[in-house]
Amino acid sequence: MADPFYITTAISYPNGRPHIGHAYEAIAADVIARFQRLRGRRVRFQTGTDEHGLKMARKAEEQGRTPADLADEMSGYFQQMCDALDVSYDRFIRTSEPDHHRASQAIWQAMEAAGDLYLDRYEGWYSVRDEAYYDESELAEGEGGEKLSPQGTPVEWTVEESWFFRLSKYQDQLLKLLRSPGFLEPASRRNEMIAFVEQGLRDLSVSRTSFDWGVKVPGSEGHVMYVWVDALTNYLTGLGYPDEMGDLWPASLHLIGKDIVRFHTIYWPAFLMSAKLPLPQKVFGHGFLLNRGQKESKSLGNVTDPLDLAERFGVDALRYFLIREVAFGQDGSYSPEAIVQRANGELGNAFGNLAQRTLGFIAKNLDGALPAIRGHAAADTELFETVERAITTDMPQAFEALALQQAVEAWLQAVFACNAYIDAQAPWTLRKTDPERMETVLATLYTCIAQLAVAISPVIPASSAKLLDMLGVPADLRNLQGIRSHWYSPLAESDFRLSAPTPLFPRLELPAEAA
Ligand code: ME8
């Protein structure tokens, strides 16, 4: 049995409704989780909401409600988004849940037992938007002369009694970790983190006393944990920490956005080192998704609800677009036109039509009976080899390397090869001239289409399942092992009959305002 695979997304702040960046991260993680399941690995996939901290407390105050009430409402939208986008999580964690408070207090006590926590006074800059402390030297100046964090958010001067974590003690170990290949990807994000550690780490303020919306510090009246201490611990909570976590820890992959790499590759490993727990195998910082090249914001009035996009264009069209369009790790841009163009051109014309033509032809001319393979011509062998290479080598290698866009490109090349084959073999002509050859051509296409449907299922799960249902491929064959070779013959000999296919990817029209 291959190693189990534990994947997590960041947990989102439920201080508002989910935006396209949240959808992007959840979908990307889901594609990776589904690919690993397809490979036969035991997968655990966790996502959720990060409900504590000053940002949540202030937003609730602004709205005249309690933070718990705000979190309850908004967390529901995040979970609904995941469900609507076919995100196959095993646990949707909320950090307000009792088992999470218990886990956070346990890791705190482990860090305390290691001698890594001490009480002192914090004086410095804090950004509520980032929930982050910054050094004076990191700050920039805004247009009106005000101080801004490196992320461009406002900072406020904070003075409080606080617990501190001995981050400085872990400097050398962290440098070694950051330099080890594979821990932080893409590699382009490594230098910035290495430089940050090299300039010297200061101990980290890890509790607050000026508000109480958080996990209580054990044995320290009036202190709640700094929100990132509890937030990061969510990755352990979901596995049962502090009880036995089974074989899923350390996590195989923490998938996060580029703005929170520091928390995941410096603070988190240091907390784990202190608590004497194994370190995650990989942290991947994906890029940001922009709306026509611009950051979405209320003032620009370009905030898009991801569920509106899914409703307008279809869940699978949106999922396909996001994975296909953006080189994973880099920033990307989306627009209705770009979604429509990819969906119509690649899903509709290239793959959907291929399936439609082939299945329709079999339904009409062979009464739905699966054609028999009667000997191979060179063109058939060549197509089989092309598809096989895509689904057993190129796509898995790309998915493993988290080169998600390349995995889809490899798939698309194989789809194009099938289209070239159907045009060259012209089964509609063979029907009259050589019906036996026609059957072989259709059987070849049928096999390749089923294999390609399985291989792309992590990206477009619902359409893929619909197609595999139409093709009559049994559930136990819908994995990379199951469709390897010779799986077709028993099916062709069974009395399964294809029905006339229904369209998989209805043609999308551009919304009026964009056309
Ligand atoms: O950072 N494009 O929560 P969050 C792509 N609670 N990804 C984006 C994005 C965009 N435009 N905007 C945000 C937090 N993200 C913390 C995480 S983890 C223990 C705690 C990503 O709601 C962002 O990078 O601000 C992060 O990975 C995720 O969305 C949640 O962001």
Complete DSSP assignment for 194-214: HHHHHT-PPPEE-EESS---S
Averaged pLDDT for residues 444-449: 97
- Residue 326 phi, psi dihedral angles, 5° rounding: -110, 130
- pTM recorded for the entire structure: 0.97
- For residue 289 and ligand 1, the question of a CB distance below 6 A is answered with yes
- For residue 23 and ligand 1, the question of a CB distance below 6 A is answered with no
pLDDT greater than 90 at residue 374: no
- For residue 231 and ligand 1, the question of a CB distance below 6 A is answered with yes
Q: At 296, is the pLDDT very low, low, confident or very high (cuts 50, 70, 90)?
A: confident
Tell me if 446 sits within 8 A of 496, measured CB to CB. Answer: no
pLDDT of 416 = 98
Cis peptide before 242 (omega within 30 of 0): yes
pLDDT of 395 = 98
What is the SS3 assignment for 288? coil
State how far the Cα of 189 lies from the Cα of 119, in Å rounded to an integer.
Answer: 33
pLDDT of 442 = 97
Averaged pLDDT for residues 136-152: 93
Each residue of 102-138: pLDDT tens digit?
999 999 999 999 999 999 999 999 999 999 999 999 9
Q: What is the mean pLDDT of the chain?
A: 95
CA distances from 335 to 11, 302, 445 (A): 26, 11, 34
Q: At 512, is the pLDDT very low, low, confident or very high (cuts 50, 70, 90)?
A: low
- For residue 47 and ligand 1, the question of a CB distance below 6 A is answered with no
Q: In what order do the strands lie in the sheet with 156-165?
A: 132-134, 117-127, 156-165, 204-205
User: What are the tokens at 294?
Assistant: 């611009």
Long-range interactions of 177-183: CB distance < 8 A, separation 24+: 177/265, 177/269, 177/279, 178/265, 178/266, 182/281, 182/282, 183/265, 183/279, 183/281, 183/282, 183/283
Specify the residue with its C-alpha closest to ligand 1, atom 14.
Answer: 12
pLDDT of 373 = 87
Classify residue 144 by burial, with Cβ atoms within 10 Å: 0-12, 13-18, 19+: exposed
Q: Which of 8, 56, 256, 286 to mutate to test the pocket of ligand 1 (most atoms within 8 A of CB)?
A: 256
What is the SS3 assignment for 220? coil
Number of neighbours of residue 120 by Cβ within 10 angstroms: 11
pLDDT of 513 = 60
pLDDT of 458 = 98
Measured between its terminal Cα atoms, the distance across the chain in Å is 52
Classify residue 357 by burial, with Cβ atoms within 10 Å: 0-12, 13-18, 19+: middle
State how far the Cα of 49 lies from the Cα of 188, in Å rounded to an integer.
Answer: 28
Averaged pLDDT for residues 380-389: 97
- For residue 280 and ligand 1, the question of a CB distance below 6 A is answered with no
Specify the residue with its C-alpha closest to ligand 1, atom 22.
Answer: 12
User: What are the tokens at 382?
Assistant: 């060549």
- For residue 305 and ligand 1, the question of a CB distance below 6 A is answered with no
Specify the residue with its C-alpha closest to ligand 1, atom 24.
Answer: 257
pLDDT of 75 = 98
Averaged pLDDT for residues 77-90: 98
- For residue 12 and ligand 1, the question of a CB distance below 6 A is answered with yes
pLDDT greater than 60 at residue 515: no
Closest CA to 157 of 131, 123, 129: 123
Q: Ligand 1 atom closest to Cα of 259?
A: 24
Task: Identify the structural domains of the chain with CATH numbers, from first to last.
Answer: 4-287 (3.40.50.620), 335-493 (1.10.730.10)
pLDDT of 1 = 53
Q: Give strand pairing partners of 132.
A: 127
Give distance in angstroms: CA of 10 to centre of ligand 1: 6
Averaged pLDDT for residues 412-435: 97
Q: At 192, is the pLDDT very low, low, confident or very high (cuts 50, 70, 90)?
A: very high
Closest CA to 51 of 80, 16, 87: 16
pLDDT greater than 90 at residue 293: no
